[in-house]
Structures are given as C-alpha cells and as structure tokens.
Amino acid sequence: MFEKFRPLGDRVLVKRLEGEEKTAGGIIIPDAAKEKAQTGKVIAVGTGRKDVNGKTIAMDVNLNDVVYFGKYAGTELADKDHLIIREDEILGVVEK
C-alpha cells in the first residue's frame, strides 16, 4: 500500500518494528499488555524542510534507517503499523 508513497517536506514514513515478546527474565508478555514500539524502519523520506530563504535543507535520516521516536510522535496511519513523522520528532538513529 505504501510502495508509492512520498512524504512531503521534512516528513518521514516509518514502519513500526515489533516489540519484545519476552522480558529479560523469560516471561512472555501477552498482547494486551504490550506497548506500541517506539522504534521503526524508515520506508520513505521527504525532500527536506525549507529555510527562510526557500533553500532546501537535506534530511538527516535515510531509507532503511532504524529510528527511535517519542511515544506520541507522528500521525498513525489506518493499519496502525505505519507512522508519518516530522524529522524533528525523531529522537535518533540506531547505529548497526
């Protein structure tokens, strides 16, 4: 559904990554108790934001980056697995 989606400006399309199924102690977490993941993979990137002179400022995130974002960041899409997030709402990129 999102193969041909192109975010505008400084927005990024992110697909949430699945949360942990177990705790460190080995306890399985039921679906009802899981929180939504705050990490995701960048699926599409906009062109960047504009400065006061109209010049485009390049984005700091790239396709396929794994990013960490705030709990209430972005706009959740209908499938609940994808978000559209402004670049300034992304807290950081997870280095491999």
The CATH number of residue 56's host domain is: 2.30.33.40
Tokens 């109209």 correspond to 54
- Cα separation values, 67 from 1, 30, 79, 84, Å: 21, 25, 19, 13
Residue 37 lies in a domain: yes
Q: The whole model's pTM is what? A: 0.79
Residue 11 forms beta bridges with which residues?
86
Q: Which residue has the higher pLDDT, 93 or 30?
A: 93
DSSP-derived pairing of the beta strands 49-50 and 11-16: unpaired
Domain count, the chain: 1
Domain that holds residue 77: 11-18+33-94
Tens-place pLDDT, residues 15-74:
988 765 655 666 766 655 556 778 999 999 999 888 899 898 989 999 999 999 988 888
Residue 78 is predicted with a pLDDT of 82
Using only C-alpha atoms, what is the Rg of the chain?
Answer: 15
